[in-house]
A and B are shown apart, each in its own frame.
Chain A
């Protein structure tokens, strides 16, 4: 069994079926014209069909061992850091917040603290000047 194909196939087949079912609940078209549910159902049917083929291929395929990602811990930590940065978006102190976020990220990726903080601060100021002062995009 090829794990990645099997998981992707199953997830997308479920999504395709979901589109078909939800599309049926949308208002139908009048006078033979397609309604709001026509495209969701058509795309859902196509997706379910193709996903079923991928699922079968995954189930029948030769095993390539369990699905794993190298350096998964680092990727997960960076993703969590990004989530935290996003949750704090708009809470003020854009330059400071961005510089701290970037410095933490760089140090997690093995960079030394002081150069990382210097680069992160310069980058945050540059982005602020370019977008807020230059392009009138409010960054707070």
Chain B
């Protein structure tokens, strides 16, 4: 108890809270601009923290981290351009709500579900850090392969009714992920002799192109319908109590999935959000509305991608293992301030751990307030004349893609993906599975091949691993679920036809 109070009092200083507020506001800007990521924000501002106390420095960096992910959902909802990779799933239902004239409600749900996800994962961090982290540590290459296989199997689920085209789109994503050096032998594949392709195709420019530029070209093509929808109302921001009750299950299950996935090194909010969205769709009685403006779908994805923050922090603080690029930079910042993350941190400096917990709580509450108060002004972006909005998306997308690596090839990748995204939309090929394939392809291949090296090429040896078996069973269920659902539906319909006795 004394450590909790010490941790709380350390962060209640106005300087610490001031740095936290600056960090959250900067994070909100970074998240809302496609191409600027949490990693970039934390990396750029880490040097500024050298001249302040550990609490103040960490407050700003955690503020950026906790502010970026929720605000990544804002452009995803308003203009169908995810601000961060973690917000891709938020665009599926969020943008559909905007087109229905409920942009305010979608932004309100984004703010509330994001904070719920973050607070739930922080509670896990505070009370269950060690069990979660030790579970995550049991993941070897075979288990990672199982997780990515489960992710890939969700392609059909995120295809929005076009299952065959969706799975094809996913295999195209997997094929694009093959470009670059072979992960095991470093043999160049599909690089066409160009050194720019040795690292593979950058994911973020492709995402900006598919969702940003592709959407702009579609709107230019469908100008009449855009003019009609521009007049749509923003609507209320806060959900009704009945809606909140209906979303509660999806929100909390999304938070649990996001925390667990986030705790696994290298598996972040992007994967967690897709898994949570699909899980919520399957277990919902209203699963057919997912992808068409479902409040529960939006809540599940927003909650999960934010819960991954707490999950990642859990692994980082308890084991000293960075779960993603942001955690790696945070570890560096902590080391500079003389703090070594790992089991000893919990034994020797519990007050500091609780300081982190309280900083994250304050950051998530602050971003919720910003999100709710800012929803209506932000939604005004929809009243900007469409061509002006398109110009903004194109120029920010272009420079954002370039800024990632200062490479013009990333801008080429974005433009090619933009044209592809336009043609895909026009031919009703879903984009979600392509992105899923592009993210998961390299992870799936490298982990399967690592697992086979460890088992000396014996495929059956992998089947002795219980966590992998659970993932394989979940994958099988995921693939068979559409058939099971169809059979159950047919059975219900046939029961309905039987006359009452």
- A residues contacting B by CB (< 8 A) are 4-5, 8, 12, 15-16, 19, 22, 26-27, 31-36, 38-40, 43-44, 46-47, 50-51, 53-54, 57, 67, 69-72, 74-75, 78-79, 82-83, 85-86, 89-90, 98, 102, 105-106, 109-111, 119-120, 123-124, 127, 131, 135-139
Contacts and interface: CB of A to CB of B under 8 A. Distances in A.
A84 to B, nearest CB: 11
B394 A44 contact: no
A131 B399 contact: yes
Contacts of A139: 399, 402
Main secondary structure of the interface of B (DSSP, over half): helix
Nearest to A108: B387
B175 A98 contact: no
A111 to B, nearest CB: 5
B399 A72 contact: no
Given A12-B168, A47-B175, A106-B387, A83 B187 contact: no
Interface residues of B, number: 57
B173 to A, nearest CB: 10
B191 to A, nearest CB: 12
B174 A102 contact: no
A75 B220 contact: yes
A36 B419 CA distance: 30
B426 A69 contact: yes
Interface stretch (B249-257, B269-277, B452-460): B452-460
B172 A12 contact: yes
Interface stretch (B178-186, B291-299, B340-348, B485-493): B178-186
Interface stretch (B68-76, B326-334, B407-415, B463-471): B407-415
- Top 4 nearest A-B pairs by Cβ distance? A32-B457, A36-B182, A109-B387, A4-B427
B184 A36 contact: yes
A69 B221 CA distance: 7
Nearest to B36: A135
Contacts of B172: 12, 15, 47
Contact of A110 (B164, B387, B403): B387
A74 B220 contact: yes
Nearest to B29: A130
Nearest to A120: B391
Contacts of A72: 221
A137 B220 contact: no
B473 to A, nearest CB: 21
B388 A106 contact: yes
A27 B187 contact: yes
B9 interface: no
A46 B408 CA distance: 33
Contacts of B441: 39
